[in-house]
Amino acid sequence: MSETPCIAVLGGTGQQGRGLARRFSRAGARVVVGSRDPVRASRSVAGWASSPLAGRRVEVAENGAAIAQADIAILAVPFASLAAILEEQRHRFKPGSLVIDVTVPVTFSDGKLALLDVPEGSAAEHVKQRLSPDVRLAASFKTIPAHLLDEVELPLDCDEFVCGDSDEARSRTSALVQMIAGLRPVDVGPLARARSLEHLTVLAIAINRRLKIHDARFRVVGL
């Protein structure tokens, strides 16, 4: 891996991906936003770059080109788009690269909040089935609210859970979580724990709705 690893954020133009891309670039990482439409994405990214809070210059590339150069690829796209993206791009991930699944298979049908019934058990396991075994996979950034992530000048004050089937995937992802000021990684073990994490996200959304707030998040005490 090069000295400054390249972090590709697929869906970096969206709510969750934007905060991650901006925070990693502010922390000094090389960030490439992956998009279906790099021209449109460049316009979004140019808007962040004009902010006095901008970090290192964020690059933009079509999804496949972003994946091909990534040491770490973050999947911050809607759950429903994953199967098609991975089918098309699977062969482009660098062997040994780390993929981080951020997706939550949540639905809001008729205003009712629910988790989709994913046959593999969780979104993260759905991703696992579609990746080559020579790629490392972890799940994280599933419970942190997009709105808070995007307030890049504010240090965070909560935990972010990390799971994955290899020590390497979890430790590399935990190091990435620690790049974000105030965010503490909590290693919760194997990838199948993503089932619990995805439920926690639904719980956070339900708390937000019930209490009319926006930023419910988690902190584990006793660590």
Ligand X SMILES: NC(=O)c1ccc[n+]([C@@H]2O[C@H](COP(=O)([O-])OP(=O)(O)OC[C@H]3O[C@@H](n4cnc5c(N)ncnc54)[C@H](OP(=O)(O)O)[C@@H]3O)[C@@H](O)[C@H]2O)c1
| End-to-end CA separation in angstroms for the chain | 32
Token pair for 121: 């058990």
Smallest gap, in angstroms, from Cβ of residue 144 to ligand X?
6
Amino acid letter, residue 154: L
With CA atoms as reference, report the closest residue to 191 among 117, 113, 135.
135
Q: Which of these segments, 34-42, 46-54, 175-183, 187-195, binds ligand X (CB under 6 A)?
A: 34-42
Task: Using CB under 6 A, count the residues that bind ligand X.
Answer: 24
Q: How far is the CB of 3 from ligand X (least distance, A)?
A: 28
> Which positions ≥6 away from 70 have C-beta within 8 Å?
6, 7, 8, 32, 93, 94, 97
In the bound state with ligand X, the residue whose beta carbon lies nearer, of 16 and 97, is 16
Task: Provide the β-strand partners of residue 74.
Answer: 9, 100
Q: Is residue 17 a contact residue for ligand X (CB under 6 A)? A: yes
Contact between 103 and 203 (Cβ < 8 Å): no
Work out whether 88 is an interface residue with ligand X (CB under 6 A).
Answer: no
Q: Which of residues 7, 8, 9, 16 is near ligand X by CB under 6 A?
A: 16
- What is the nearest approach in angstroms of ligand X to the Cβ of residue 16? 4
Residues that bind ligand X (CB under 6 A): 11, 13-17, 35-37, 41, 76-79, 81, 85, 102-104, 106, 142, 145-146, 201
